[in-house]
Amino acid sequence: MNPFPPLPEIEALLSTPQARELQQLRLAVLRNITVEAIEPYLRYLAHAQGFNAEVKFGGFDQLMQEAVGGARDLLLPDLDAVLVFAYLSQLSQAVATGFAGLSKEQLAQETERLRVYFEEVVQGIRRQTDAMILWHGLEPPLHPALGIRDAQLPDGQSATVARLNDLLRTTLTGLPNAFLVDMAGCLARVGAPEFYDDRFWHLARAPYSRLALAHIAGEDFKFLRALKGRAKKCLVLDCDNTLWGGIVGEDGLKGIQLGKDHPGSVFSEFQKEIVSLFHRGVIIALCSKNNEADVWEVFDRHPDMLLKREHIAAWRINWEDKPANLRALAAELNIGLDSMVYVDDSEFEAGLVRRELPEVHTLCLSGEQRLRSRAVLASCGLFDAPRLTEEDRHRGRMYQADAGRRRARSQSTDLESYCRTLAMRLEIGRGDEFTIPRIAQQTQKTNQFNLTTRRYSEADIARFVASPEHDVLWVRVSDTFGDLGIVGVCILRYDGEQADIDTFLLSCRALGRGVEARFLAEALQVARSRGARTVTGRYLKTGKNAQTEGFYAGHGFQEIEAARTSDGRTFLKPLDNLAPPDAGHFVEIVRPCAATQRS
Amino acid sequence: MGVAAHEVTETSSPDTIESWDSLQHMKLILAVEEAFGVQFSDRDIVSIKDVQSLIALLGRKPGT
């Protein structure tokens, strides 16, 4: 799978005036093979980082001559990086294709010749420029020269190629700003049949396929990103369905998926990768819509949590929108938003962050991506640094010590206009035989946005549906990402001209979009159309539903102070001056229940 | 190859377009393969002498 757009699209993108005006990134390529086809991929990746790359190729098989000073206008002092492709078949026929016929003495001589060659090329480049040197290492032989015996020998062809890579590494790491690019890793990830293109090897001495070159360019850019100070510093994580499966506020501590067995093992492996990044100096932060206590309960009490409190430098666990929380985290940690990577399973949340904060690198791990989450994080290279310092090792702890010291002010997010771009559609309907099971299930499962937390069976709901004293309403949400299904329930009970909201709840995946306000307004229209003059709503406190305590007061209800108890509050609203129905930021609201008559 | 689209005809070839060298030939083949979802053999590639022969060969390839 080629991770890049088709070539004409890349060309079009790179030829815009804006692309040409970006800061220059100067690359030179020394090679003993044809690799010109890598150019569009290098330039595309540079563009994604805000650079206009200029790639100059040295002459075919002029590697040594150019390295030691034979090329004018190639290895200039102001270069950013020199990419070296020294392909084994061109470098040493003896090792690549004549290996079986080599004596021990000949092999020793050839190895020494190559060691000197590596040394001279690297030194030669360094004499001309201080640019970063990226030497593409040797790939292991696919079919070792001595067949199955090769792997048994300390000096077989595979072992010899590994030794040559060791020599290269020693040569490179002896100099500042010179690095070995892991070609064996690129080969393994792409797979040999896709990595090599034998046609162009024979026609043009171009061994690598376009797909291989795309991956190699990606690997090179992990270095170039770090060189240019574009490496990311901070990983910000959502919690529910990202760090563990399920929703802790709904499923409870014992109900979430995390542990050694499927499906919890997927999340455990993802956490292991996060802990690895922590040890590599990446700052870890949390940004999630939860009750804070629920999240810390998982950290403190779940036996399979690998990520611990001491890994977390800062957090925003609340019901604010994510862009505001990310801004606050950046301010608290004193890092730029462009140093952050944000991971969420929700396309809605990821989309909002991408739109509001394009400088944050957002990874959306939803659906089938879920299983690859560890690999996505491990392969992204966003946090890569070619060297690890002592400070890197302790950075996470340093930031944690700082956490909470500063209090940041959040700026408002243009949530409404984002919601408009999603073309959100609400459908409100009455309970019937098709929806009764889902309605009952929601009353049983929903904990967080649930005003009264009354649990009902299907039989209870069926009774309400049949009763003339009740209205059972559901709300369904869809947007450009898809259909969320029925996400909310409201049960109204009538006593003469008095309506009471027996139940009002919304699934947490539909929160943060203004659905609750619109659903309440529509429910009140229904109540008034039934002849109700006033409506009451109750907030019954549980361990989970603190976020709903201010809901009625926030929507024009007055509290009846006399009815207040330690675990309950009652609110009242007259229905005489109800505002007319309004679609707000929804493209459409379907109301089959708007009429007074019931079918 | 730095040639305007309207200047390319069926008889355009490495002889009429100066920049059409072996490297550009390879880039052309790779771009055509990507755009049409086809794969040429090594013999196909050397048999392509001009735009006309490329089109003719493309016509005989099952696309994907």
User: Are A516 and A471 members of one domain?
Assistant: yes
Residue A387 maps to a domain = no
pLDDT at A274 over 70: yes
The residue type at A365: L
A423/A111: higher pLDDT: A111
Structural domain including B12 reads 5-59
- What is the structure's pLDDT at A441? 87
What pLDDT, in 10s, does the model give residues A275-316?
999 998 899 999 999 999 999 999 999 999 999 999 999 999
Query: Residues A181, A224: contact at Cβ < 8 Å?
Result: no
What pLDDT, in 10s, does the model give residues A488-515?
999 999 999 999 999 999 988 788 888 9
What pLDDT, in 10s, does the model give residues A540-568?
998 889 889 999 999 999 999 999 999 99
Question: 3-state SS of chain A: helix, strand, coil percent to 5?
Answer: 45, 20, 35
Rounded CA gap, A165 and A138, in Å? 6
E-assigned strand segments in A261-301: 283-288
Residue A396 maps to a domain = no
pLDDT at A410 over 70: no
Among B27, B31, B46, whose Cβ lies nearest the Cβ of A203? B46
Stated as kind and residue range, the H or E segment containing A181 is strand A178-181
Query: Residues A45, A98: contact at Cβ < 8 Å?
Result: no
Residue B64 maps to a domain = no
What pLDDT, in 10s, does the model give residues A114-132?
999 999 999 999 999 999 9
- What is the structure's pLDDT at B5? 86
Mean pLDDT of A453-473: 94
Query: Residues A491, A464: contact at Cβ < 8 Å?
Result: yes
Residue B25 maps to a domain = yes
- What is the structure's pLDDT at A390? 66
Return the structure tokens found at A443.
């009353």
ipTM: 0.88
Mark yes or no for CB contact B45/A8 under 8 Å: no
How do beta strands A340-344 and A361-364 pair? parallel
Query: Residues A59, A66: contact at Cβ < 8 Å?
Result: yes
Among A8, A36, A203, whose Cβ lies nearest the Cβ of B42? A203
Structural domain including A105 reads 7-227
Among A37, A198, A202, whose Cβ lies nearest the Cβ of B30? A37
For residue A235, the number of C-alpha atoms closer than 13 Å in the C-beta half-sphere is 31
Mean pLDDT of A478-489: 86
> Which CATH number covers residue A155?
3.40.50.1110
Which of A57, A203, A209 to mutate to probe the B interface, most B CBs <10 Å?
A: A203
Return the structure tokens found at A46.
């540079």
Lowest mean pLDDT among A397-411, A522-536, B19-33: A397-411
Residue B9 maps to a domain = yes
Phi, psi of A173 (to 5 degrees): -75, -10
User: Are A105 and A247 members of one domain?
Assistant: no
Rounded CA gap, A35 and A210, in Å? 10
> Which CATH number covers residue B50?
1.10.1200.10
Residue ranges in chain B modelled with pLDDT below 70: 63-64
Answer left, alpha or beta for residue A362, where phi above 0 means left and psi between -120 and 50 means alpha: beta
Which of A36, A199, A211 to mutate to probe the B interface, most B CBs <10 Å?
A: A199
- What is the structure's pLDDT at A481? 77
Residue A537 maps to a domain = yes
Mark yes or no for CB contact A210/B30 under 8 Å: yes
> Which CATH number covers residue A357?
3.40.50.1000
A367/A263: higher pLDDT: A263
Q: Which residues of B touch A198 (CB under 8 A)?
A: 42
Provide the whole-model pTM. 0.78
- What is the structure's pLDDT at A587? 87
Lowest mean pLDDT among A235-239, A310-314, A385-389, A552-556: A385-389
- What length does chain B have? 64
Return the structure tokens found at A52.
């206009």
**Count of the separate structural domains present in chain A:** 3
- What is the structure's pLDDT at A1? 64
End-to-end CA distance of chain B: 27
What pLDDT, in 10s, does the model give residues A148-185?
999 999 999 999 999 999 999 999 998 889 999 999 99
- What is the structure's pLDDT at A368? 80
Mean pLDDT of A255-275: 94
A97/A581: higher pLDDT: A97
Cα radius of gyration rounded to whole Å, chain A:
31
E-assigned strand segments in A186-305: 234-237, 283-288
Mean pLDDT of A446-467: 93
Greatest Cα pair distance, chain A, in angstroms, is 105
